């Protein structure tokens, strides 16, 4: 019986590996052949957070994008000789300032190392941290007239639930190493000294945001500061105050990137593109990770069989 289990496990893994390799072979967008000059398109959708390059799976669909995922794509574009320009296709209301800073640093490195153009295009929204990314190194920014953008500002959320806890009979206390170790705790009011500390942090990050926009958009810092009060603007309003260069959609931005990079357009007037496609359903199900999991489970069962007297008696 144990021998049959082992043979079945080997056959299952062999069939699974064959199917995965066959499907991947038929759907490989990056074949090892000579490719024409093209534009790399990086999609930035949803909340932008710090983190490593994460892979979606069948049970955990991503609702945003990590800085690690964006940075990896930027570096891949820099290393690809066929890529002559970069398009940032953004539809995001923002996220982490640190994530935006990380991505901005990689975009600046891309620009410095490759000297290739970067064009940003804003969809429904391109605000806050998303606008930070768009503005920091782009040669041109496109937006639709109805796009919501701007929101050049920083905030730090805070909630005081002390009175609510008292009503339901919950009290809390803590032992801390210093007076500010529990800053931003929600079980007591914030002290005036803590407000000063946090306000200074917010002001410092806001200044960095303003300087980033000022340098990227080649605008006077004083002018940026006037419009950087946290409000959002429509795409048309943003163009009028210098935060956006042109009103247009993704294809307008793609054509502009191709023209800046001097790429011969196709019959549709657009340059060839390199874009990271979203995984297909079969890739979620028949992934290498799933194969590894199945292999691990089978090995556990086999090992259990060797140590289980009942199984040993059956196989004798």
Q: Could you confirm whether 111 is annotated as catalytic? A: no
Average pLDDT, integer, range 288-311:
58
Main-chain phi, psi angles of 241, to 5 degrees: -105, 5
* pLDDT for 95 beyond 60: yes
Please write the tens of the pLDDT for every residue from 227-282: 999 999 999 999 999 999 999 999 999 999 999 999 999 889 999 999 886 655 54
3-state SS of the chain is: CHHHHHHHHHHHHHHHHHHHHHHHHHCCCCCCCCCCCEEEEEEEECEEECCCCCCCECCECCCEEEHHHHHHHHHHHHHCCCEEEEEEEEEECCECHHHHHHHHHHHHHHHHHHCCCEEEEEEEEEECHHHHHHHHHCCEEEECCCCEEECCCCCCCCCCCHHHHHHCCCCCCCCCCCCCCCCCCCCCCCCHHHHHHHHHHHHHHHHHHHHHHHHHHCCCHHHHHHHCCCCEEEHHHHHHCCCCCEECCHHHHHHHHHHHCCCCCCCCCCCCEEECCCCCHHHHHCCHHHHHHHHHHHHHHHHHHHHCHHHHHHHC
Pick the closest to residue 129 from 212, 38, 33, 193 (CA basis): 212
Q: Name the fold adopted by 36-151+231-278.
A: 2-enoyl-CoA Hydratase; Chain A, domain 1 (3.90.226)
Q: Could you confirm whether 128 is annotated as catalytic? A: yes
Confidence of residue 136 (pLDDT cuts 50, 70, 90): very high
- The lowest-confidence range among 10-24, 32-46, 119-133, 224-238 is 10-24
Confidence of residue 173 (pLDDT cuts 50, 70, 90): confident
Number of neighbouring beta carbons within 10 Å of residue 111: 18
pLDDT value for 53: 72
Average pLDDT, integer, range 62-70:
87
- The lowest-confidence range among 4-13, 85-94, 109-118, 214-223 is 4-13
- The lowest-confidence range among 21-35, 139-153, 219-233 is 21-35
Active-site residue, from 67, 96, 128, 151: 128
pLDDT value for 57: 45
Active-site residue, from 24, 166, 181, 195: 181
Write down the domain spans for the chain: 36-151+231-278, 155-215
Please report, rounded to a whole number, the percentage of residues in the chain having pLDDT higher than 90: 64
Opening angle at CA 287, ends 284 and 293, nearest 5: 110
Pick the closest to residue 143 from 119, 116, 118 (CA basis): 119
């Amino acid at each position: 019986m144990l021998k049959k289990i082992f043979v079945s496990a080997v056959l299952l893994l062999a069939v699974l590996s064959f199917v995965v390799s066959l499907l991947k072979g038929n759907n490989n967008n990056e074949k090892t052949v000579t490719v024409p000059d093209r534009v790399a398109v990086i999609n930035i959708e949803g909340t932008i957070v710090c983190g490593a390059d994460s892979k979606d799976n069948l049970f955990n669909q991503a609702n945003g994008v990590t800085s690690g995922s964006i940075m990896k794509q930027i570096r891949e574009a820099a290393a690809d000789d066929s890529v002559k320009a970069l398009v940032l296709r953004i539809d995001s209301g923002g996220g982490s300032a640190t994530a935006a800073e990380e991505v901005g640093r990689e975009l600046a490195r891309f620009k410095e190392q490759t000297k290739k153009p970067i064009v940003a295009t804003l969809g429904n929204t391109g605000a806050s941290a998303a606008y930070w990314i768009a503005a920091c190194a782009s040669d041109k920014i496109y937006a639709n007239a109805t796009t919501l953008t701007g929101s050049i500002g920083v905030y730090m959320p805070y909630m005081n639930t002390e009175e609510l806890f008292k009503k339901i009979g919950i009290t809390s206390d803590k032992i801390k190493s210093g007076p500010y170790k529990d800053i931003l705790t929600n079980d007591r009011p914030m002290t005036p000294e803590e407000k000063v500390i946090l306000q200074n942090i917010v002001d410092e990050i806001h200044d960095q945001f303003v300087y980033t926009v000022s340098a990227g958009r080649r605008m006077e810092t004083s002018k940026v500061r006037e419009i950087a009060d946290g409000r959002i603007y429509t795409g048309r309003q943003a163009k009028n105050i210098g935060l956006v260069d042109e009103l247009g959609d993704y294809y307008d931005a793609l054509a502009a990137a191709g023209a800046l990079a001097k790429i011969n357009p196709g019959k549709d007037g657009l340059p060839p593109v390199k874009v990271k496609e979203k995984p297909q359903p079969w890739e979620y199900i028949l992934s290498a990770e799933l194969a590894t999991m199945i292999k691990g489970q089978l090995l556990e069962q086999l090992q259990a069989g060797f140590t289980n007297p009942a199984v040993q008696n059956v196989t004798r």
